[in-house]
């Protein structure tokens, strides 16, 4: 288990936990692009109940292509998106890598939704690439 901490840009939201990293993914879907305002999103997936997010967080839910409900956890003051949840993955939370303090934990295992990747985005050729959501 690894102790983690993270926060939004203004510090209004913080979280901490003692987690086991399940998976780290670079996601190139248009939702991640829009939600983060960046070329892609990088998520560190851990057990939701291992992370304590401050109650100052705001939530935004929207439907995914799959029919699942995606929930963004963000700061209503500075706009940072600190984490996300997917109703199809009960008990798992995806921490947005940029808000996580322990940068050495951010070791992506794959690139997903490569079909909607921004053409200039370079990807590590060593990593698996999936056109959409893996299998």
Residues engaged in binding Zn ion (CB under 5 A): 8, 10, 12, 27, 29, 32, 75, 77-78
User: By three-state DSSP, how is residue 115 classified?
Assistant: helix
Minimum CB separation of residue 113 from Zn ion in Å reads 6
Q: Please say which residue, 32 or 44, places its beta carbon nearer to Zn ion.
A: 32
Q: What is the dihedral of CA 50, 55, 60, 62, to 10 degrees?
A: 30
Minimum CB separation of residue 78 from Zn ion in Å reads 3
Q: Please say which residue, 27 or 100, places its beta carbon nearer to Zn ion.
A: 27
Taking each continuous run of H as one helix and of E as one strand, the counts in the chain are 1, 11
Minimum CB separation of residue 1 from Zn ion in Å reads 27
Q: Please say which residue, 18 or 122, places its beta carbon nearer to Zn ion.
A: 122
């Amino acid at each position: 288990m690894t102790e983690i901490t993270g926060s939004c840009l203004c510090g209004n939201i913080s979280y901490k936990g003692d987690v086991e990293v399940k998976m780290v993914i670079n996601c190139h879907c248009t939702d991640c692009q829009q939600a983060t305002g960046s070329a892609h999103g990088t998520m560190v997936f851990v057990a939701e109940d291992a992370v304590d997010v401050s109650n100052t967080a705001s939530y935004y839910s929207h439907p995914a292509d799959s029919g699942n409900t995606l929930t963004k956890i963000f700061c209503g003051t500075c706009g940072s998106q600190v984490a996300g949840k997917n109703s199809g993955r009960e008990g798992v939370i995806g921490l947005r890598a940029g808000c996580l303090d322990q940068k050495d934990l951010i070791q992506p295992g794959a690139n997903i939704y490569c079909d909607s990747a921004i053409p200039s985005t370079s990807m590590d050729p060593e990593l698996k690439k999936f056109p959409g959501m893996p299998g």
